[in-house]
Amino acid sequence: MVQPTKAQRAFLERHPIAHLATADARGRPHVVPICYAYDGACLYVVIDTKPKRVGPLQLKRLRNITENPHVAVVVDDYSDDWSRLAYVMIRGRADVLEKGEAHERALRLLRAKYPQYRKMALANRPVIRITPESLASWGAIGGS
């Protein structure tokens, strides 16, 4: 298991959004913004109840993960003061949780971070679990 530095973990824990990159079996990329929770080992993303054009399991990101589980996540800071630019990038493998203890734990983590999720019915919604295979960071992420 890849262990983040203290600074990387703090950076991941304090940011509310990231961008998830998936690719289909032919390598065509797809990037979406995500809300996520990080427990020091994995990132979790729920397919929430905000309106979507298709059912949860038909979303492009989930179809891509089924075809190709290799993903990347970028959490970043932008500033007009470029000495404050920073990012943490995670490359890893994703799988989809639909029920069970890991699914329930992920929902608890996500609800603790995002008050909006506390009011949503998420028990039957898929959760993407991303297991990091590498972590990279750059810039002013803070401490070490």
pLDDT at 144 (0 to 100): 41
Instruction: Give the pTM.
Output: 0.94
Q: Is residue 121 part of a domain?
A: yes
pLDDT at 54 (0 to 100): 76
CATH at residue 15: 2.30.110.10
Q: How many domains does the chain have?
A: 1
DSSP output for 16-51: SEEEEEEE-TT--EEEEEEE-EE-SS-EEEE--SS-
Closest CA to 141 of 10, 36, 3, 19: 10
Is the model's pLDDT at 119 over the cut of 90?
yes
CA 58 to chain centre: 18
- Across the beta sheet with 29-35, the strand order is 29-35, 17-23, 70-77, 86-97, 127-139, 43-46, 37-38
5 burial (CB, 10 Å; 0-12 / 13-18 / 19+) is middle
Is the model's pLDDT at 143 over the cut of 60?
no
| Domain region containing 78 | 6-139
**Over the stretch 46-78, which tens digit does the pLDDT of each residue have?**
999 887 787 777 899 999 999 999 999 999 999
Per the structure block, which two tokens stand in for 16? 């509310």
Q: How far apart are the first and last CA of the chain?
A: 19
Closest CA to 86 of 135, 136, 140: 140
Q: Is residue 38 part of a domain?
A: yes
**Over the stretch 14-32, which tens digit does the pLDDT of each residue have?**
999 999 999 999 999 999 9
Q: Is residue 1 part of a domain?
A: no
Q: Is residue 120 part of a domain?
A: yes
% the chain with pLDDT above 90: 90
